[in-house]
């Protein structure tokens, strides 16, 4: 249903709709003189008197290019409706968010930089970006360490009586889709099912010493397997069996079984 409201400043009548008046609590701007008034309070009846109806006053409110010159007697410095004053006052605040956002991003970047090793452990995709930054900053980024994505796929141990050593052979596989650090391994020698001695082996102790430094630096490639061999002195240890696990992930699982 169309309603008619009249501008109290210039007397121009407009046909409006209920949803137009509902916007901003009925506050509208005259499309002819530019005056701001309450369209609800200024409603008139379209009766016997023929009214000269102009386009909706909402056009003058939202499209400044369609506003005509100021009508005589209408003050240009009249106070704006509350909703318009709040909108103008809030615009400068937008510029305050820009430096604050830059500061927050800088703080986040600094935190990630100092926690780069931990970040690449859980998001290996970040490693190329951190590596590029470290080339310029003179730092380094460690390879990811995810023991749960490493697996010992085969192992056996035999007694070399001639040299009085136990010889352990095993194969280590990287199940991840990214290179990883070589893990520490825990070797436990047992006798009749009971632990006799336990030792944690570092990568440089179980890899071929001729290539150990090179392969440790490059890491175990995604999906790759690496054979390893360990010699254990058998002169002072009597053992009939062994247990080999990736320290500490798999070792903790075995201990809780």
- Rounded Cα distance between 17 and 33, Å, is 20
- Residue 115's alpha-carbon distances to 109, 112, 217, in angstroms, are 10, 5, 20
Per residue in 199-217, pLDDT (tens digit) is 999 999 999 999 999 999 9
Please indicate whether residue 62 or residue 125 has the higher confidence score (pLDDT). Answer: 125
User: How many structural domains is the chain composed of?
Assistant: 3
Same domain as 130, residue 35: no
Decide if 30 is inside a domain.
yes
Region 232-255: what's the mean pLDDT?
Answer: 84
Same domain as 241, residue 186: yes
Decide if 115 is inside a domain.
yes
Per residue in 12-26, pLDDT (tens digit) is 887 777 777 776 677
Among the listed ranges 42-51, 123-132, 201-210, 240-249, which one has the minimum average pLDDT value?
42-51
Per residue in 131-185, pLDDT (tens digit) is 677 777 677 777 888 888 999 999 999 988 888 899 999 999 999 988 999 999 9
Decide if 142 is inside a domain.
no
Same domain as 251, residue 155: yes
17 DSSP β-pair partners = 2
Residue 59 has pLDDT above 50, yes or no: no
Same domain as 93, residue 12: no
Same domain as 102, residue 10: no
Same domain as 155, residue 74: no
Same domain as 107, residue 54: no
Q: What would the two tokens of residue 38 be?
A: 């309450």
Same domain as 59, residue 43: yes
Residue 250 has pLDDT above 50, yes or no: yes
Same domain as 106, residue 48: no
Residue 226 has pLDDT above 80, yes or no: yes
Same domain as 188, residue 157: yes
Decide if 247 is inside a domain.
yes
- What range defines the domain where residue 122 resides? 86-137
Same domain as 160, residue 247: yes
Domain boundary among 137, 158, 174: 137
Decide if 122 is inside a domain.
yes
């Amino acid at each position: 249903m169309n309603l008619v409201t009249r501008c109290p400043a210039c007397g121009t009548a407009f046909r409006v709709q209920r949803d137009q008046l509902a916007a901003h609590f009925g506050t509208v701007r005259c499309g002819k003189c530019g005056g701001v008034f309450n369209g609800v309070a200024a409603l008139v009846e379209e009766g016997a008197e023929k009214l000269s109806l102009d386009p909706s006053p909402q056009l003058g409110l939202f499209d400044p290019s369609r506003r005509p010159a100021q009508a005589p007697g209408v003050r240009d410095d009249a106070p704006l409706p509350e909703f318009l004053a709040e909108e103008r006052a809030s615009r400068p605040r937008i510029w305050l968010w820009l430096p604050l956002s830059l500061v927050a991003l800088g703080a986040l970047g600094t935190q990630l930089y100092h926690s780069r090793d931990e970040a690449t452990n859980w998001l290996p995709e970040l490693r190329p970006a951190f590596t590029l930054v470290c080339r310029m900053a003179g730092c380094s980024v460690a390879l990811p360490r995810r023991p749960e994505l490493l697996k010992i796929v085969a192992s056996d141990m035999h007694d070399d009586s001639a040299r009085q050593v136990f010889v352990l052979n095993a194969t280590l596989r990287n199940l991840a889709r990214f290179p990883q650090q070589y893990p520490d391994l825990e070797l436990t020698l047992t006798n009749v099912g009971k632990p006799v001695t336990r030792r944690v082996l570092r990568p440089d102790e179980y890899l071929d010493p001729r290539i150990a430094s090179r392969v440790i630096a490059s890491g175990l490639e995604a999906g790759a397997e690496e054979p390893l061999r360990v010699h254990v002195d058998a002169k002072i240890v009597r053992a009939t069996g062994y247990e080999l696990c990736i320290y500490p992930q798999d070792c903790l699982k075995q201990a809780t079984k």
